[in-house]
Structure 1
Amino acid sequence: MNPIKRGVFALCMLASGGVFAADPVSLTIDTAKPGAIINKDVYGQFAEHLGTGIYEGIWVGPKSKTPNTKGWRNDVVGALKDIKVPLVRWPGGCFADEYHWRDGIGPREKRPVKVNTNWGGVDESNAVGTHEFFDLVDLLGADAYVNGNLGTGSAQEMSEWVEYMTSDSKSTLANMRRKNGRDKPFKVAYFAVGNEAWGCGGNMSPQYYSDLYKQVETFLRAPKQYRPKIIASGGNDNDVAWSDVLSKELKKQTDGISFHYYTIPTGKWDVKGASTSFQENEWISTLSNTLRMESHIQKNTAAMDKHDPEKKLGLFVDEWGTWYDVEKGTNPGFLFQQNTLRDAVVAALNFNIFHAHADRVRMTNIAQMVNVLQAMILTDKDKMILTPTYYAYQMYVPFQNATSLPVSLQNNPDYSVGNVKIPEISASAARGTDGKLYVALVNTNPNQPADVALNIPGQAVKAVKGRVLTAAAMDAHNTFAAPQAIKPAPFSAAAGADGKLTVKVPAKAVIVVAVE
């Protein structure tokens, strides 16, 4: 037997060993009260000009010996297609507010070389610009989220970029696009006015930003069929002033407000914690800190509800994920970190939170897609590995555009270490576009498996079938020497003679199943 499968099998057998004195956790799913649609864009990605997140990681250029299509690595693109990436945000991040779009069009050999002052002080060749980005989203079958430059740009620059991308006229800018190889307008799903205006995007106040936004948005003109949704740059963490002010001032001029939150084990930016070889106290602190996403969304939603009770505006969590100390020996400005089972659990916990707030949270973008922070994929020259976070996205694909369903947990014990405690089980359920009922379960306890009794009023549950992601070690991860050390395994459970179905969830595990 494959050692990976043997390890998972052993864990699952342990989970079904009947060693629990307590009653199982009870999960009730109310299929009679369908909620909001879980927008596919909740599973969006983020690709910034940062480290090897684009160059080397996914862009190698059309002349590279690495197999590619229009300069984009075939292996990485293929892997991303397998998780059905719905949306990609580009070119930043902090980089967006120093990016001038005209530097990235025309012959690549004639484009100006700049310095990426935000990330490592390295040369920025501008080899990847507007046309190359749209080649990528076309290859992925994804939508485009373009972030405009408010920090060092202008209303005119953003207005002209939108015209360049979307105009179907015979204007000079539209004809420039055609000359550069694109006849028909690009389809831009979202366009953001700046990024983190409270910090790297200009150190602005919410009121000052809202005034600038109104000016810029006035001039973002596009044909109706090509007009993107316009996003306002919002706040972070506990700062709800941005959501409050912007939802009041901009509710007639924006489609939504962004929000950023990063999970740090220690809660301290100067010493964040390691991505591997961590102890259990940092396992639970990481999960406890990521669960704060729930209260952050609640507070920002409450602020927006005051001015937008109809929920016309979306809350777009367009930067989120884990942020650790960089790997030793790497450029600190490249934000390269390993990715473990802990990261997959973090991802799944956030997915379940986003699903519960699908009426307001309609798009999120994990940071970032390749080689940066909580990446889906890590590369080293021609080598590529898939991370546990990648597999979490893969397992949750059925939730894209699914209809959320109310869930309730009873008898859910706390998992605790010292004075930190969190719920042991997290759950989510939805009716997929294929008509099937899908259930996601996360066991945050790295030491004990859990029994979860499934209850669906009015429906007899015969069995569940899907996949489980777990491992023996909290920091289990894939390396270039061992690229398949951790990956999902098949999972199934059937109802007992009494007609009841109990799912045996291994310790530190993510499960996604379809209900039969």
Structure 2
Amino acid sequence: RDEPWKVPFFGIGNETWGCGGNMRADEYAALARQYSTFVRDHAGNTVTRIAAGANIDDYDWTEALMQGAGSPGFSYQAISLHYYTHTGPWEDKGSATEFSEEEWYLALARAARAEELVARHATIMDKHDPEKKVGLVFDEWGTWWNVEPGTNPGFLYQQNTVRDALVASLHFDGFHRHADRLLMANIAQTVNVLQAMILTDPDSGALVLTPTYHVFAMNKGHQDAASLAAHVLLEEEPRVVDGRALPAISASASTKEGTALVSLSHLDASAPRTVVLDLRGREVAGFSARVLTGEGTAAHNTPEQPEAVAPVALEDVRPHERGLEIVLPPHSFTTVELQLA
């Protein structure tokens, strides 16, 4: 290259609480502050320095990093967070495609926990940095299942079902609600590893788009938009799973340029549900809706059936006196695009 690469983000280590050094929080905080000094801005390139943050709910780690940063945003401008979703213990995380209804809900409840983690780490950051100069970077998340039978265990190759799609959509909803502190959110891998967007087949050369890919694509309209508050009111009490309430519907919304995008995750494994989208103060000039689901909760795409789970137009949407009435299929993810009057 004639010109150097621009490096907008620079991680100061990775998982330093474990495989990245087995350090204590205060020990790493001092090193992160020291090393950040030498990650400098050059020739108009401004670097966001990211300190290696907590594993799951290690709130003491976040406290130590925020205390050790000195003036907020001076040493490092962000700290990271890692959390994976699985239903079994670390040694036997569960199958990607063979699971019970109980495991369906357990995975979704554990995915929903991601928002709790963001909120609690953000609360600690707010104490030290009320002006939000330091961002939170959720840079490893997603499902982690047992590898597919017959594959190399070291390659972490796993299938991807409707369940994975809703795990992703639940994460997105939580991310949207905390956009004021969350600077970045990266699913751990993209191709052939863990909860990937794309799977390739070495025998046929096929490239398969996973249900998770489609959730990412359907959420693109939220990019560069302003987050809107989305309140879900349900008549029934939420299901309690793994000690946590799991409402049947999760939602998030955003607006830009006279439009709005509403994302609806319907977590019920077997029953459809009718909802009313109440805009409270705005009228709908036009709308379109798409839905992602499959014949069952374990439906997935293969080289032989690459579109077993793919978005299609949702026809069961009609005007309502308060906005729109929508019938959500079971185990589905829906986006509704609105033109606002």
The TM-score, its normalising length taken from structure 2, stands at: 0.93
What is the distance in 2 between the residues matched to 1:509 and 1:304? 35
Give the drift of 1:224: 5.1
Greater RCO structure (CA 8 Å; 6+ sep):
1
269, 272, 288: which one aligns with 1:446: 269
Q: Name the structure 1 match of 2:3.
A: 184
Deviation (angstroms), 1:460: 2.2
1:387 maps to which of 206, 210, 217: 210
Offset at residue 410 of structure 1 (A): 1.6
Q: What's 1:312 paired with?
A: 133
Cα drift, residue 491 of structure 1: 2.1
Contact 1:284-1:417 at 8 Å conserved across structures = no
Report matched runs for 1:30-429 at 5 Å: 182-223=1-42, 225-250=44-69, 251=72, 252-266=74-88, 268-381=89-202, 382-411=205-234, 413-414=236-237, 416=239, 422-429=246-253
1:304-363 Cα deviation digits (max 9, x unpaired): 111101111111000000001111111111111000010011100110000000001120
Partner secondary structure for residue 274 of structure 1: coil
Distance 1:485 1:305 in 2: 44
**Partner Cα distance (1:500, 1:197) in 2:** 50
Structure 2 letter corresponding to 1:192: G
2: CA distance, partners of 1:299 / 1:328: 37
For 2:119 and 2:53, the matched residues in 1 are separated by: 15
DSSP-derived class of the 2:81 partner: strand
Runs of 5+ in structure 1 lacking a partner?
A: 1-181
Q: Do the aligned partners of 1:281 and 1:417 also contact (CA within 8 Å) in 2? A: no
Shift of 1:417: 7.8
- Judging by fraction of residues, say which structure has more helix: 1
Q: CA deviation at 1:463?
A: 4.8
Which sections of structure 2, spanning at least 5 residues, go unmatched?
Answer: none
Choose the corresponding residue for 2:296, options 467, 470, 473. Answer: 473
Give how far 1:415 is off: 5.4
Name the counterpart of 1:149: none
* 1:485 matched to 2:308: yes
- Give the aligned length: 332
- The answer to whether the Cα contact below 8 Å between 1:330 and 1:336 also exists between their aligned partners in 2 is yes
Distance in 2 (CA, whole Å) between partners of 1:264 and 1:450 is 27
Task: Give how far 1:408 is off.
Answer: 1.3
Aligned to 1:115: none
Paired residue type of 1:424: A
Match of 2:254 in 1: 430
Shift of 1:500: 4.4
CA contact (8 A) 1:324 1:337 kept: yes
Q: Residue 480 of structure 1: CA displacement?
A: 1.5
Q: Could you say which residue in structure 1 is the equivalent of 2:334?
A: 511
- 3-state SS of the aligned residue for 1:375? coil
- The structure carrying a bigger strand percent of its residues is 2
- Which moves more between the two structures, 412-421 or 217-226? 412-421
Greater CA radius of gyration, 1 or 2?
Answer: 1
Shift of 1:227: 2.8
- When structure 1 is superposed on structure 2, of 216-225 and 195-204 the one drifting more is 216-225
One-letter amino acid of the structure 1 residue matched with residue 44 of structure 2: Q
8 A Cα contact 2:156 2:194, kept in partner: yes
- Structure 1's consecutive aligned runs of 4 or more residues displaced over 6 angstroms after TM superposition are 417-420
Quote the residue 1:94 is aligned against. none
3-state SS of paired residue (2:314): strand
Distance 1:288 1:412, change over 3 A: farther
* SS of corresponding position for 2:96: coil
**Is this contact kept in 2: 1:320–1:366, CA < 8 A?**
yes
TM-score norm. by structure 1 comes to 0.62
Cα 1:358–1:418 shift into 2, 3 Å = closer
Report the Cα distance in structure 1 between the residues aligned to 2:15 and 2:181, rounded to whole angstroms: 20
The alignment-based identity, stated in percent, is 43
Q: Deviations over 1:108-148 (max 9, x none)?
A: xxxxxxxxxxxxxxxxxxxxxxxxxxxxxxxxxxxxxxxxx
